[in-house]
Chains A and B, each alone.
Chain A
Amino acid sequence: MTKDTAKHILIVEDEEYLRDLYLQVLQSEGYEVEIAANGEEAYEKMSQKQYGLVILDVILPKMDGLQVLDKLNNEGKQKNDNIVLLTNLGQDLVVAKALDFGVRGYMVKSDYTPEELVAEVRGYLGDGDVKSEL
């Protein structure tokens, strides 16, 4: 993973306001951010490119997060260890299943302030220098 791809983040979020928020917050932190509004788009992008981090919602139009994970898993094109679930779903089962697919972790959207989210992302990417830029 190069330094460049390490800074590439894909946000998969169907809710427009939240998508804009995450895009704005993370871009202002200096990350290269791409967005996907549904599962299919996310799958397309993830098959074409290796991201440093994929923030994946679960409830999505066309293809939900778990289906995306399942498809990727079956194809074996990439390990899912660069994916973090970001959802407002509270079902332990969904989380357990996602973890079975090899995702690194999960966040409950409502529990995080934008600042805390950035901190989490930084933690996942193992990147210390972005914080100093803030």
Chain B
Amino acid sequence: MTFLIRQIALKASGEEIVRPTTVDGDTITIGRDASCDIHLPDLAVDPRHARAVMKDGELFVESIADQPFGMNGRSVNRRAIDLSRGAELTFGGHRINVERGDGGVPVFTVRRVEAISDVSEEKDLGSVYTLKGLMPGKRMSAWGFAILVLIACLAWPIGAYMTHKGEKERGSGYHGDEIWSSGDLTLAHAGLKDDCQACHVDAFVAVRDNACTTCHEDDAHAHISGLAANDATARLVAARGEPGAFGQFQRAVAEGFNRPAGRCVECHIEHTGAGAMEDTPQKFCTDCHDGMSKRLPDTKLPDASDFGTGHPEFHPALVVQPGDKPVFQRMTLTKTAREDNGLKFTHAEHMSKTGGVAQMVRRRPGEYDGRDAMQCADCHTLDSTKVRFEPVKMEDSCQSCHALGLEMIDGTTRTLRHGEPELVAADLRAFYRSGNPPRPASLSGMARRSPGDGASQRTARDFARAVQFYPTRADGAVTRVFSKGGACYDCHVITRDGPAVTNGFDIVPAVQNNRYLAMGWFTHDAHTKYACTECHVDATRSNDASRVLIPGLGGEGGCRTCHVGGTGASLTEVKHPVESDCAMCHDYHADDGPPWMSKAPKTIAKADANRRKQVSMR
């Protein structure tokens, strides 16, 4: 029996070289070992891998060490081969075609079909050293990212806008266009967070005033009162005057981009963060108020540029006529400013550490904590808001010394009624109606007395004098209490237009001015670190109750002692300056509450730290 083995090698040109050999015998071996009949120099092939046996005209191929080989694409250990059909055997990187040759001789055609190593195969030098295939392509990811961003940041928001265009109110929950929000809305507008279209009504149209006035029907432009909204805006724009060259350029650019001037949002900037709306920057006030009298000749307001350097003197509302319906008038706060409040009071005398008042205080240590003089708080107490003071009440603050006692009845003092002159007169008249003083019990009868007549004579003498001097005419007493030296006259202004019961006397109702600076904000609560007289300097000097004791802008105890301008400017040197811009005291839309100042001036904290340091060094 013979086998024909054809080893095929490839030339560099691709041409095939066939080396045929014949092997005699019934069996041939296939393996890596050089002694094998079919020698396959292939590391994936066992040294003696398989044998092919020809037996009774049939060809068997079987592996020697149970290492499988491939046959017609299947991995097998032994197989019979029908030579008429032929077969393809695979050993490692070699392929052996088996077929019937001339004269029924089995022919084994051996070919190397795989390179001996991976690197021996063709490598594309252009790509093999690059990151191709290891990273997603640059072009693909560039398009991917860009489209993703355009969908999320452009298509989605515009879709949200289109969906809800024209709706009166948009539902809450996240809408696509909120990704466009440049910052949180302030607290006042936080409720509109999900409704961009509440203000941004039309696409590519800057926010217009009617978006604001949808809610702010009444309170917008309360600053310029008594004008229709359009006129108020016109006046505002006029007050600002013509801008300079750069300002005109800015305005031209803004209008070119469809942003007209004088809109609410020019000053009221939104999307500034979730806090209170920023207090109006000083510039927005001084844009108009600095030199405004030139631009608006009909204005009654004096010019103001900066608290430290250019602010008019305060114009407090002073009482010019006391009474049940007092008349207030705003006037410049000067040294000679007087207020007619219907009271007589000597501040200096009451605050003095010498004299009758101080003596009285010292005699009543229980009531005055052992002090040697009165202090402001004995009469003046802050109201619950701590902003202003409660009105001084005669019953609480004056009466302990200035008693209105009429007589003592069994240990109880009968008092004249304060605040009601008719009742006072009536009480006095009733008191004197009995005609005579009560007769002393010891003057007659059987009561025990000292031996002798001396005592009874003394009593009789006193009684006779009392009868003699007893004012039998009540009219006299009434007149005396309302006249100089009388209890009412000491503190009140007396007029002669009263009813008959008071003999025509009357008392002007006293007025206590509760808020002097109606257009500016002042709170005592922020100033509790300071003694009252540091600012109200004349309280210890003046005995004139008509004297206005609130501090002025400058001068001794004036606001400028500490407060400098918004930029820190001041006319004189200030030791612990408190930077004060307009919004510290003024509010654009002024009301009874404090201004919208959202933060304390930073300089106060600094001054506090300094003071604490000084105290700790002491």
Do A and B pair up? The answer is no
Residues of chain A touching chain B, judged by Cβ–Cβ distance below 8 Å, are none
Residues of chain B touching chain A, judged by Cβ–Cβ distance below 8 Å, are none
